[in-house]
Amino acid sequence: MLYFPDDIFNEILDAVAYIEPAGQPTRNRDHQRETWQTLGWIRLTHVCRRWRYIGLNRPSLWASVVTNFPRASEIMIARAKNAPFTLRLDLYNFSLLIKVESFYPDFLENILALVPRSRVIHDAEDWESVLRGRARNWGDILQGQTLPLLESLNIANIYNRRTALEPLIPDNPFFAPNLRLYKIGYFIPFVAHSLRVLEIKDSRLSWKRCLNILETCPLLVELSLVGGLWSSLGEKDAEYDDGPWMPETVLDNSLSALYGASESSSRTVHLTELKKLRLVYCGCEAYMLLQHLSFPMHTAMTIGLCEEVPFFRHIVSLVKARLCLPSMGLLSISSRPFAAYRDDPYVSFNVAHNTIGWKWPAVEDVGVTTQLNFSRAFTTDRASDITLDMLMCLPAEVHASIRTLAVSGDYCEQEYRARAMSPESDFDRWIALLQRYSGVSTLFYQPDAHPIFSRLMERPSSDEMLLPNLHTIIVHRNPEGMALPRAWWDGFKSWLVMRRAEGCPIKRVVLTGCSCHLVDEGYGENRVQELKAEVLRDLVDEVVDERDSVEDDGECTCNDW
C-alpha cells in the first residue's frame, strides 16, 4: 500500500475522508457534542513522508476541515490554497463556541471572511446563542454578495419572536449562480437560478412573495415551506387557542370569498422538474399558492395545515385530479389524538401508488404520493369525529380505487378511544363510509389505531359485508404502543370465523412488530400470555409470522400495560 500510485492514494484519501471525517466531535450518552478527539483521515498523513507529501498537497481535503481545528485554522486555510471551503459552524453549540473564541479570538472573523470562497456553508443556532444575542446575522453577512462557488447553504435559525415581527425586505439579495441546496430558517433574499432544493421556515412569507421567489427557481426538484402563508381570516391567532376558530359554515363562506378573489390573477409559475412539494404549518394562503403553481402530476405532495374541515374540503378539491389518478391504490390513515413525545395531535391521509419501499407503519417514500396532514385535530370539542368528516370529503373516485387500506396511530389511552367513538351516530356513518371501499384487498392494521376499525370485527347492522374482497391482513403492534388485549385477539379470531362462514374468508394473516404477548385489561397487574400464531392456521389459508424477536434479556414491554 505504501507504493500505491499517487492518483490511487488520492482516491483513498477522499474515501477515508468521507468514511471518517477529520476532527468530528465525539458525543456523550445523551448524543450531545463534547470535544474533538479524532484526527480521522489526517492520521494517514502521518504514516510516512510520501503519504504526508501527497496529503499536504491535497487542498480540497484541508479546505473541508478549516472549522474543525480552531487552533490550526490558519494552517488549514494555507494548505487549502485556492480550493473551495466547507464551513461547518453547526458543529459548535454556544458554550463550545464561547470557549473557542476565548482561546482563539480571531477564529470566527477569519472563518466568516471565507464566505465568498466557500462551496458549503452550514450553521445552526441554539437557544443560548439566541437568548444572549450571540447569533450570527447571516442576513447582513450575505446581503449583496456574489458567491460563485457556493453550492450548499444550510442555516438552521431557531424561531425568534422578535425577528419574526420584523418586516421582510427583499432588497439586496445575494447572488449564487451555482447554488443547488438552500435551507434557511429566516428568509434571506437570494438569486440562484440553478437551485434544486429549497426549504424556507419563515412565518412572514405570503403566497405572492413565495410566487416571486419560485419564479426565479425554475429547476427546483424539492420545495419545502414551513410556516407562513397566513391569510386575513385570523388562523394564525386561532392556532394558539383551544376554542373553535369560527363556525364551519362561516369559515366555508369566508374561504370561498378569499379564494375567489385570488382566482382573478392569471399568473402561474411553472416548476416542471419538481418531484417533492411540502407545505407544513401553513395558513389558508397555502391554497392560493397551490392555485398559481403548475408542476407534474407525479410530484409527491405533503400538505400539513390546520384542522378545519372546510379548509380540508377546499384543499381536496384543488388536488382532486392527483388524488384520482388511476394508479392511486393505497390509502393510509394515521392519527394521534393527544400531544405526546413533543408531537402535535394530528390526522394524516396518504394516497399513494403502492407499498414499495414502505416501512410499515411509517408512510415514507411510497410511490407517488399525496399526503394531507392536519395538526391540532383533537384540541377542540367537536360534535362529530373529525377523521370521519375529512374522509367523507374525499372524492368517490378515491374510495372506489383503493386496493390497500392502512390504519395506524396512537389511541392507547381509554379516554381518547372513548372520545373518538362519540357520538354514537358516527358509527352508522363509518359503516356507510367503509362500504365504499369494496375494492380493498389488503388491510394494514394497528390495534391501537382509531377505535372504529376494531368494529370491523363486529357484524354491522347492514346486510352488506364490509370490505368484501379483503383477503390479506397485516397486524402490527408498535413497541411503544398499546399491548395487544386478549379481548381484541379473541374478537379478531371470531371475526375471521364469521367472514369464512359468510363466504368472504380472509386468506392470509401477517403478524409484525412486537406482538409477542396478550394482556388482560382491567386488573391491578395485567395478566400476560404468549401470543401463538399457530392458533390462526385453522382460520386462514396462510399465516406469516414476521414479529420482532424479544430482546436477548428475555424481556418485552407488554407487561408495562
pLDDT, tens digit only, all 561 positions of the chain: 557 787 888 888 888 877 777 776 555 545 455 555 567 778 888 888 888 888 888 898 889 888 888 888 888 889 889 999 999 888 776 666 776 776 677 888 888 899 999 999 998 876 556 555 566 788 889 999 999 999 999 998 765 555 556 667 778 899 999 999 999 988 899 999 999 999 999 888 889 999 999 999 999 999 999 888 888 777 766 555 555 567 778 888 888 888 877 776 778 999 999 999 999 888 888 888 999 999 999 898 888 776 678 888 888 988 999 888 888 888 888 776 554 444 555 677 888 877 676 676 665 555 567 878 765 444 445 566 778 888 888 999 999 999 999 888 765 555 445 555 555 667 788 888 888 999 999 998 887 777 677 666 655 555 678 889 999 999 988 776 667 788 888 888 988 998 898 899 999 999 988 877 788 765 545 567 788 888 999 999 999 998 876 554 456 655 554
Beta strands 197-201 and 222-226, pairing class: parallel
Answer whether 275's CB lies under 8 Å from 221's CB: yes
Give the model's pLDDT for residue 473. 94
Quote helix, strand, coil % in the chain, to nearest 5: 35, 20, 45
The chain-wide mean pLDDT, for the chain, equals 79
Interatomic CA distance for residues 96 and 34, integer angstroms: 8
Interatomic CA distance for residues 485 and 531, integer angstroms: 10
- Residue 407: its H or E element: strand 404-409
Residues 183-205 pLDDT 10s: 998 889 999 999 999 999 988 88
Interatomic CA distance for residues 241 and 249, integer angstroms: 20
Residues 421-477 pLDDT 10s: 555 667 788 888 888 999 999 998 887 777 677 666 655 555 678 889 999 999 988
Burial label, 97 (beta-carbon count in 10 A; 0-12, 13-18, 19+):
buried
Give the model's pLDDT for residue 342. 43
| Overall pTM surpassing 0.85 (yes/no) | no
Long-range contacts of 84-88 (CB under 8 A, 24+ apart): 84/60, 84/117, 84/118, 84/119, 84/120, 84/149, 85/114, 85/117, 85/118, 85/119, 85/120, 86/118, 86/119, 86/120, 87/111, 87/114, 87/115, 87/118, 87/120, 87/121, 87/122, 87/123, 88/120, 88/122
Give the model's pLDDT for residue 200. 94
Interatomic CA distance for residues 522 and 242, integer angstroms: 32
Answer whether 62's CB lies under 8 Å from 76's CB: yes
Side chain identity at 301, as an amino acid letter?
Answer: M
Query: What length is written for the chain?
Result: 561
Give the model's pLDDT for residue 485. 80
Cell of 68: 474543525
Count of C-beta atoms within a 10 Å radius of residue 251: 20
Contacts of 42 (CB under 8 A, 6+ apart): 22, 23, 55, 65
Give the model's pLDDT for residue 377. 44
Sign of CA dihedral 239, 245, 248, 250: negative
